[in-house]
Amino acid sequence: MPIRTHRGRAAVYRRLWGWPLRSPKHLILALVLLVALVSTVGLLLPEVTPAGSAARTDRESTGYAPESEERDSVAGGGQDTRERDELDGAPPTISVPTVTPESAPPTPAGMDVVRSWVSNWSRHSPDTTRQRWLDRLRPYTTPEFMGVLESVEPANVPATELTGELSAESSTESSMRVLAPTDGPTLRVHVVRTEQGWRVAGYDRVD
């Protein structure tokens, strides 16, 4: 029959709590039951491992290294490899000073070539063919610059004659830059010394 009053429940609780104290046997039996209950609960509950300890255990067991450590080791290995390559096989860097050609007085033969070249470059008429114009320039021109002149139409040359004296803007033993005034623009002619003598290698307009 269920106990429905608070007084009845209190009487039952007093009997239960007072049972171990009735005799030494009851007390020993109650302690044995308590130890057995605690042991059973401990066996049934799963073992809980702290997250930090588990992470450390996983890294130690699998050999895993954090990503930052891997990057450091890879970078260090690449640097060591580069240093070994530099020490083993890379040739030393040698700085070669730039040599500027020494100035020299203008060579009369080179000035004569410039004078002849400008005279034939500017001399043309409506009936002058490109081939005839090129043939007049060929003895005074390098083969490389002749290839450039082959695309020029003589009628488009903006001068008809040399109008003044030549003057050397710069001069060395192997090349000169000579200013040549015409009835059109003033030319800056580049003339170089070759195995065949002085030859015009190019020009540009000063004005």
pLDDT of 91-111, one tens digit each? 555 555 566 778 999 999 999
Three-state secondary-structure class, residue 65? coil
Say what percent of the chain tops pLDDT 70. 62
Instruction: Using pLDDT thresholds of 50, 70 and 90, give the confidence band for residue 7.
Output: low
Question: How far is CA 68 from each of CA 30, 58, 74, 107, rounded to the nearest angstrom?
Answer: 58, 17, 10, 71
pLDDT band at residue 9 using 50, 70 and 90 as cut-offs: low
What pLDDT does residue 64 have?
42
Distance (Å, whole) CA 70 – CA 65: 6
Q: Could you give the strand order of the β-sheet that contains 167-171, starting from the edge strand earlier in sequence?
A: 167-171, 175-180, 187-194, 197-205
Residue 102 CB neighbours (<10 A): 7
Q: Is the pLDDT of residue 51 over 70?
A: no
pLDDT at res. 29 = 78
Count of beta carbons in the 10 Å neighbourhood of residue 182 = 20
Higher pLDDT: 204 or 67? It is 204
